[in-house]
Homo-oligomer: A and B are copies of this chain.
């Protein structure tokens, strides 16, 4: 049923978050998901690209929901946003600095080489930015500033994950959380 299809997508999400797009082979995906090669091309006739686009979309929704959840938990974006970043730092550490940023590698690898993958990643980032921007607007920031701030928040997040994984330390992400709070406290 569609459960095996889901399994394939989930495994793709996990592997590509850690290894990236090109380093993740279809054989590895099939081995870890327990599906045979035939079903992969039955469920995803266009092959690896189609599967990856679906994986990006699924990861994007998962992160979007996580952001929404944390944003809904505080009245004020000035506390909600740094809280999300701190939680993210803990998740990165909990994965031994292997996870964090489920689409980052795909975005970087495909930006100049695969138009459809690039577009899938662009949409993912856009959806996250919308959630942050909406919360900021409700917190009293202007629409223009909210858009700008939310872009910077995601940029600092993504970059912070890269630095944290490179250093094997959550310090960069904690630095981002602290400075983003200062930036937001600076006023609208």
Distance of A112 from chain B, by nearest CB (Å):
4
**In the complex the two chains form, what is the Cα distance from A50 to B84 in whole Å?**
38
Contact of A156 among B19, B22, B104, B156 (CB under 8 A): B156
Number of copies: 2
Q: Is the CB of B159 within 8 A of A155?
A: yes
Judged by DSSP, the binding face of A is helix
Distance of A161 from chain B, by nearest CB (Å):
8
Which of A3-11, A75-83, A176-184 has 4 or more CB atoms under 8 Å from chain B? A176-184
Closest chain B residue to A124 by CB distance?
B166
A38 part of interface (Cβ distance < 8 Å): no
Q: Mark A91-133, 1 if CB is under 8 A from B, else 0.
A: 0000001100100110111011100001001100100000000
Distance of A11 from chain B, by nearest CB (Å):
16
A87 part of interface (Cβ distance < 8 Å): no
**In the complex the two chains form, what is the Cα distance from A157 to B155 in whole Å?**
7
Q: Is the CB of A149 within 8 A of B179?
A: yes
A-B contact pairs, 27 of them (CB 8 A): A18-B112, A19-B112, A20-B20, A20-B109, A21-B22, A22-B109, A98-B111, A98-B112, A104-B108, A108-B108, A111-B166, A121-B166, A122-B167, A125-B167, A151-B163, A151-B171, A151-B172, A152-B172, A152-B176, A155-B155, A155-B157, A155-B159, A155-B163, A155-B172, A157-B159, A179-B183, A186-B186
**In the complex the two chains form, what is the Cα distance from A178 to B147 in whole Å?**
13
A54 part of interface (Cβ distance < 8 Å): no
**In the complex the two chains form, what is the Cα distance from A28 to B62 in whole Å?**
37
Given A111-B166, A125-B166: 13 more A-B contacts, CB < 8 Å:
A22-B23, A23-B109, A101-B108, A107-B166, A148-B178, A148-B179, A151-B171, A151-B172, A155-B157, A155-B158, A156-B159, A159-B159, A179-B183
